[in-house]
Amino acid sequence: MDKFRMIFQFFQSNQESFMNGICGIMALASTQMYSAFDFNCPCLPHYNLAYGLGILLVPPFILFLLGFVLNNNISMLAEEWRRPQGQRGKDPAVLRYMFCSMAQRAMIAPAVWVSVTLLDGKCITCAFCTSVPVDTLGNASHPRLSQGEIQRVLARIPCKEIYNGQQLIANEVAVRYLRCISQALGWCFVLLMTTLAFLVRSLRPCFSQAAFLKSRYWSHYIDIERKLFDETCAEHARSFAKVCIQQFFEGMSTDLVAARCYLPRKASADAGEAAEKLLGITDQGTMNMALKTWHRCKPPLHLHPPALPTGNGWAGEGQPPTHPSTPRRETAAYYSWV
Amino acid sequence: MDRFRMIFQYFQSNSESVMNGICGLLALASVKMYSSFDFSCPCLPQYNMAYGLGIMFVPPVILFLCGLILNRQSLVMLEEWRRPQGRRKKDLAVIRYMCSSIMQRAMVAPVVWIIVTLLDGKCLICAFSGSMDPEKFVGFANVSTAQVQQLLAKVPCKDDELLRNSTSRKAVSRYLRCWSQALGWSILLILILAAFLARWLRPCFNQATLLQARHWSNYIDIEQKIFEETCCEHSRLFAHKCILHFFESMRQEIKLHSFSLPREREGAEGEEDLLRGITDQNQVNKLLKMWYCEKPPLDVSQAHQR
Burial of A157 (0-12, 13-18, 19+ CB in 10 A): buried
Q: Are residues A29 and A119 in the same domain?
A: yes
Neighboring chain B residues of A190 at a CB cutoff of 8 Å: 62
**Residue of B79, B233, B241 lying closest to A220 (CA atoms):** B233
Q: Are residues A68 and A215 in the same domain?
A: no
Final residue in a domain of this structure, among A195, A225, A260: A260
Q: Is 0.90 exceeded by the ipTM?
A: no
Domain assignment present for residue B241? The answer is no
Burial of A189 (0-12, 13-18, 19+ CB in 10 A): middle
Final residue in a domain of this structure, among A175, A207, A239: A207
Neighboring chain A residues of B160 at a CB cutoff of 8 Å: 172
Confidence of residue B249 (pLDDT cuts 50, 70, 90): confident
Q: Are residues A227 and A155 in the same domain?
A: no
Domain assignment present for residue A126? The answer is yes
pLDDT at A322: 42
Cross-chain Cβ contact A88/B82 below 8 Å: no
Give the number of domains in chain A.
2
A49 vs A253, residue with greater confidence: A49
pLDDT at A335: 40
Mean pLDDT of B1-15: 64
Neighboring chain B residues of A108 at a CB cutoff of 8 Å: none
CA distance B57 to chain A (A): 11
Q: Are residues A94 and A152 in the same domain?
A: yes
Q: Are residues A223 and A75 in the same domain?
A: no
Cross-chain Cβ contact A121/B38 below 8 Å: yes
Confidence of residue B105 (pLDDT cuts 50, 70, 90): very high
**Residue of A64, A61, A56 lying closest to A107 (CA atoms):** A64
Domain assignment present for residue A106? The answer is yes
Q: Are residues A171 and A224 in the same domain?
A: no
Amino acid sitting at position B245 = H
Q: Are residues A215 and A123 in the same domain?
A: no
Q: Tell me which of A21-35, A129-143, B144-158, B200-214 is least confident.
A: A129-143
Cross-chain Cβ contact A225/B265 below 8 Å: no
Burial A126-145 (b: 16+ CB within 10 A, else e): bbbbbebebeebbeeebeee
Amino acid sitting at position A100 = C
Neighboring chain B residues of A242 at a CB cutoff of 8 Å: 271
- Full domain range(s) for residue B75: 1-205
Amino acid sitting at position B259 = F
Domain assignment present for residue A272? The answer is no
Domain assignment present for residue A302? The answer is no
Domain assignment present for residue B248? The answer is no
**Residue of A30, A109, A28 lying closest to A67 (CA atoms):** A109
Domain assignment present for residue A94? The answer is yes
Q: Are residues A200 and A214 in the same domain?
A: no
Domain assignment present for residue B99? The answer is yes
Question: What would the pLDDT profile of A202-231 be if each residue is shown by its tens digit?
Answer: 888 777 788 888 888 888 888 888 888 888
Q: Are residues A126 and A234 in the same domain?
A: no
Domain assignment present for residue B13? The answer is yes
Q: For residue A113, what is the enclosing H or E element?
A: helix A108-120
Domain assignment present for residue A158? The answer is yes
- Full domain range(s) for residue A150: 19-207
Mean pLDDT of B33-39: 92
Confidence of residue B41 (pLDDT cuts 50, 70, 90): very high
Cross-chain Cβ contact B42/A179 below 8 Å: yes
Domain assignment present for residue A337? The answer is no
Closest residue on chain A to B153 (Cα): A173
Domain assignment present for residue A217? The answer is yes
Query: How far is C-alpha A16 from the chain's CA centre?
Result: 15
Residue A269, pLDDT above cutoff 80: no
Q: Are residues A145 and A247 in the same domain?
A: no
Domain assignment present for residue B8? The answer is yes
Confidence of residue A108 (pLDDT cuts 50, 70, 90): very high
Give the number of domains in chain B.
1
